[in-house]
Chain A
């Protein structure tokens, strides 16, 4: 054994100053990071995918007949349309609901989603049977019949949706908005 020559000559000073061990350590660390990244990067991309869904966009959905609405009496109607959810596509399912309030030939529509934290708001009637507006059963936000915030924690009024009358039916431009913020922005 002793007769064997040294496998490597000792590094000559000044030519390769303290490289090998440290660079090997760095290379090893980088390699490990690369393995981790190779696994993690595509996984992260997959998990983050929902951030790239396009936001907003309404759709006109036909609801009840105009003459089924009584003047001044809010009525909850379901928004029924096709729904694509991840890998599922469904025909004519309930996507959500809106409150319709008729005033002559005009119909106002409010999203039934409370702008505070997203519970479903209810209509409230006064003792004489007339509409006293809307109230959220969760955190006591309340709104007058025109959707204006009257008390409770909601940061904004009820979200108004556009409506139009099509062949005697009320059509609603169904949209969703961000919850719990002052501005009405689509989500």
Chain B
């Protein structure tokens, strides 16, 4: 039945003859493991094509959606991480196989007459493969791809005369934007694959025309057919490659995804490892010589590879087929390979030793992790940068560094030597309040502020105290601390079991003290300050998000401190920020400060 169907088709297409032609290729000198690289490359390309098409069904190329869609593929879509991981590591496998294929062909002398055109087509394929790597790196629109690719397009821009135009055409304009992505995407999924398929067809057809180039030691009287002897070896090689790629994809649970591309950020850009040699090269050519590293040397390498079959005129099959006879023309190739390896290692060693780089890298990793986590809830249509800008966790510290860290410190933010406002670690929690009640002018509290000397200690007798003064009992101070600390908790919050405020009796006792005795100076729900000093702040909601928000917006609104807080006489008091920060930013900042100081 099947045979009849095949016969039916063969009669109309000649498919049997074609298959026989493909499979019965004679391999002069016998099948060899050394010949597997070309086929393995084809196999790897097929894997890239299949996974690439699968990725295309979920990827959306625009600066607002690219990162989000890749995040979706990597972290939410079933099997997405595996497909992306295979594509990511498959690309690296292709680069390695390409190098191996080139070296094998060079060592066997398979570039020589009459195979020059096959060699040149191969070089074209190498350029296309590197083009795939370069364009693909940008598509996730993450920090890593964005900054590394910016360097690459800027290198294109340094070419004399045509550089600026080339760069503009690649970028789709004077700077990176939506059109950069659509252009790189078009190159990656249509233009380069079309070129690759065309060149591969020509490359393989010419290879069939001329056959393999066996080494000098081979017994050329022995001839194997491509199927099954060579094809078996090729399939084994492809299987090994696929197994390694799969293992890497499984180990990395897909491929890494950095934080979304942010043009105003600082980022220690590095290319993918196979471009590290070129990256390192750029460090050595200074000022006007820059172009030597960016253009001249890479062009010389390309020219050498192009000219190799024209320089080495020895004929295959002659005595000089042996590598020994062709050392001279291959010396540059060995130097190039050794230099590339050396530069790659040097680049890695430089980075490993560079403390500033490691710090930057660690900072970028923290941001990447946070971005990935935040995006699990979905990315807004305005894009991932807006998502990050709306996150207290990421935006909070930035705002704090910009607006608060000049005076306050909190965790690793702010410089202790510049501080002239309270330290905010643990602020408004029991321990902090107990310290405040005991010694308000302590260095971490009002000691460096214009409020120094304004609040009396509750348990240390002041110098000018009247004889009736008694210290507040320790138990009362604990009760006050428990109650005030509970003021900062959001509704429905259960205090940690070990904290003072988890004891309702203590809190109730504290409430009684605070609302009757502290209101001699402080406000409680707007009432109090019997002496009319206008200094001590509102205690209801002290430490809560609403309190902090109000304090940042305007410390003189009576919701926290009062008019006197912004009295020019009290120089150095906290300024209002509602004139320079949006309500949304104040909210983000307050949320982060409360979270960071109280948790």
Known interface pairs A96-B263, A122-B360; A55-B174 also in contact (CB < 8 Å): yes
Q: Indicate if B432 sits at the interface (CB-CB under 8 A).
A: no
Question: Which of B172, B174, B268 has the most CB atoms of chain A within a 10 A radius of its CB?
Answer: B174
Cβ A180 vs Cβ B357 within 8 A: no
What 0/1 readout, one digit per residue, does chain B (169-203) give for beta carbons within 8 Å of chain A?
A: 10111110111000000000000000000000000
Q: Tally chain B residues at the interface, Cβ within 8 Å.
A: 51
Contact call B178/A87, Cβ cutoff below 8 A: yes
B26 at interface (Cβ–Cβ under 8 A)?
no
Which of the 9-residue segments B49-57, B147-155, B316-324, B555-563 touches chain A?
A: B147-155
By the criterion CB–CB under 8 Å, are A120 and B265 in contact? yes
Given contact pairs A112-B266, A179-B158, A187-B164, A153 touches B283 in the complex (Cβ within 8 A): yes
Q: Tell me if A47 counts as interface (CB < 8 A to partner B).
A: yes
CA A118 – CA B175 in complex, angstroms?
A: 11
Among residues 120 to 152 in chain A, which have CB atoms less than 8 Å away from a CB atom of chain B? Answer: 120-122, 124, 135, 137-140, 149, 151-152
Min Cβ gap A166→B in Å is 14
Establish whether residues A178 and B178, one from each chain, have CB atoms under 8 Å apart when the complex forms.
no
For residue A59, CB closer than 8 A to chain B, the reply is no
**Within the assembled complex, what's the spacing in Å between the Cα atoms of A78 and B398?**
11
| Contact with A119, one of B151, B173, B177, B356 (Cβ below 8 angstroms) | B151
Contact B360 A65 (CB under 8 A): no
B151 near A117 (CB under 8 angstroms)? yes
Interface residues of A (CB under 8 A from B): 47-48, 50-51, 53, 55, 64-65, 68, 70, 76, 78-79, 85-88, 90, 93-97, 112, 116-122, 124, 135, 137-140, 149, 151-155, 176, 178-182, 187
Contact of A153 among B264, B282, B360 (CB under 8 A): B282
In the complex, the answer to whether A155 meets B287 with C-beta atoms within 8 Å is: yes
Chain A residues with Cβ under 8 A from B284's Cβ? 153
Q: Is the CB of A94 within 8 A of B157?
A: no
Is B406's CB within 8 Å of the partner chain A?
yes
Q: A94-B262, A153-B287, A178-B157 are in contact. Are A138 and B63 (CB under 8 A)?
A: no
Contacts of A179 in B (CB 8 A): 154, 157-158
Q: Is the CB of A48 within 8 A of B154?
A: no
CA distance A182 to B266 in the complex (A): 23
Q: How far is the CB of B31 from chain A (nearest CB, A)?
A: 44
Residues of B within 8 A of A187 (CB): 164, 174-175
User: Nearest 3 A-B pairs (CB), nearest first?
Assistant: A180-B158, A94-B264, A137-B268
Specify which chain B residues have a CB less than 8 angstroms from the CB of A64 in the assembled complex.
Answer: 402
Q: Are A95 and B174 in contact (CB under 8 A)?
A: no
B290 touches A116 (CB 8 A): yes
With A85-B63, A153-B282 as contacts: A50 and B169 at CB distance below 8 Å: yes
The answer, among A70, A76, A152, for a CB contact under 8 Å with B286, is A152
Q: Are B282 and A119 in contact (CB under 8 A)?
A: no
Given contacts A117-B294, A178-B157, 5 further A-B contacts (CB under 8 A): A86-B173, A93-B385, A117-B154, A122-B360, A153-B283
